[in-house]
Structure formats: structure tokens, C-alpha cells
């Protein structure tokens, strides 16, 4: 292996070690799993991305991203990062009270699942 590749390999390993050995985060992370109609999944994602602007701006939201799996078109997942579970609960109450997500209903084929993640 030439010297340049060896240095790149070492840098990559150090990056991985830094990422995996960092101090645990004090935030709360969750996955929201939406069962969706595969034929309208792209439309659902577009509509979701519009309302996620408000989610990202909501107090305590540290980030939210949309994820899909290319071979499993029946689901869309959100990965959410919150300052605390109380922040996410307040956000969810706000969404429920305002009804400003009701337009997403026709895209969803079942109840969403909210899965809090534990970092180890």
C-alpha cells in the first residue's frame, strides 16, 4: 500500500474512532415510522418537507430528516433530534391542536409509530 493510501486509511480509522467514542449526546432521538401508500409516497415526502420547516424551527428541535428505503416503499421514516422529550411532546401537542398536518392523512395507510432511541 502506498504512503498516501496508508495515511488516508489511518485518517478514516481515526475519524471512525472519534465518531464512535465521542461523549454520549444529551439530546433525545426518535424515529417516526409512517406506513404510506407506495404510489403516493413521493407526494407525501413533498408535503412532509413543507411542514418540516416549522418543525425544525420549533423550540427544542435540534434536527429532523426524512429517510426512505429503496426496496421498501411502504414506509417513510423521520429521524428527529430533540433537546428533551418534553420539547417533542409540546411540539406534537401543537401539531395536534392546530390540525395543520391533517392534509397528510390521505397518504398514510396506518398509525405512525414513535420510537425513542437509546444511545449505548
Q: Please report which confidence band the pLDDT of residue 51 belongs to, taking 50, 70 and 90 as the band edges.
A: very high
Whether residue 20 is predicted with pLDDT greater than 70 in this model: the reply is no
Supply the pTM of this predicted model: 0.76
Mean pLDDT of 35-46: 97
Q: Does the structure show a pLDDT above 70 at 22?
A: no
CA distances to 28, 63, 77, 115 from 69, rounded to whole Å, are: 23, 20, 9, 17
CATH class of 25-117: alpha beta
Q: How far apart are CA 120 and CA 111, in angstroms?
A: 28
C-beta atoms surrounding 36 within 10 Å: 24
Dump pLDDT digits (tens) for 75-101: 999 999 999 999 999 999 999 999 989
Q: Helices (DSSP H) in 1-120: which residue ranges?
A: 3-20, 41-57, 85-98
pLDDT confidence tier of residue 10, bands split at 50, 70 and 90: very low
CB neighbours of 92 closer than 8 A, spacing ≥ 6? none
Amino acid at each position: 500500500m502506498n504512503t498516501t493510501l496508508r495515511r488516508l486509511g489511518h485518517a478514516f480509522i481515526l475519524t471512525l474512532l472519534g465518531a464512535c467514542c465521542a461523549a454520549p449526546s444529551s439530546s433525545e432521538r426518535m424515529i417516526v415510522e409512517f406506513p404510506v401508500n407506495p404510489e403516493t409516497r413521493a407526494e407525501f415526502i413533498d408535503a412532509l418537507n413543507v411542514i418540516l420547516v416549522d418543525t425544525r424551527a420549533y423550540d427544542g428541535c435540534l434536527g429532523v430528516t426524512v429517510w426512505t428505503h429503496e426496496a421498501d416503499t411502504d414506509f417513510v421514516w423521520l429521524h428527529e433530534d430533540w433537546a428533551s422529550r418534553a420539547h417533542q411532546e409540546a411540539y406534537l401537542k401543537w401539531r395536534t391542536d392546530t390540525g395543520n398536518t391533517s392534509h397528510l392523512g390521505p397518504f398514510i395507510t396506518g398509525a405512525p409509530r414513535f420510537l425513542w432511541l437509546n444511545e449505548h
